[in-house]
A = this chain, B = another copy of it.
Amino acid sequence: MHAYADMSTEELELFRVACGFCSLRELCWPMGLEPPELARLHSMIRRSGPLGVGNHLFGVGERFTAIYAVRTGCIKSYSIGADGHELVHGFYLRGEVLGFDAVHPDRHRCNAVILEPSFVCVIPYKDIARLSVEFHSLHNQILRVMSREFSRQLKFADSSVATQRIAAFLMDIHSRLYQPGSAEYEFRLPMSREDISNHLRIAPETLSRLIAKMHRKGLIDVDRRRIRLLNPVRLGLMAQGKHHG
Contacts and interface: CB of A to CB of B under 8 A. Distances in A.
B201 A143 contact: no
Contacts of A148: 104
A213 interface: no
A153 B109 CA distance: 14
State the number of copies, please: 2
Interface in A142-184: 142-144, 146-151, 153-154, 157-160
Interface of A: 81-83, 87, 89, 101, 103-105, 109, 132-133, 136, 139, 142-144, 146-151, 153-154, 157-160, 201-202, 240-242
19 contacts: A81-B158, A82-B240, A82-B242, A83-B159, A83-B241, A89-B154, A101-B150, A103-B147, A104-B147, A104-B151, A105-B147, A133-B133, A133-B136, A142-B143, A143-B146, A146-B146, A149-B150, A150-B150, A150-B153
Contacts of A142: 143
A158 to B, nearest CB: 5
Contacts of A133: 133, 136, 139
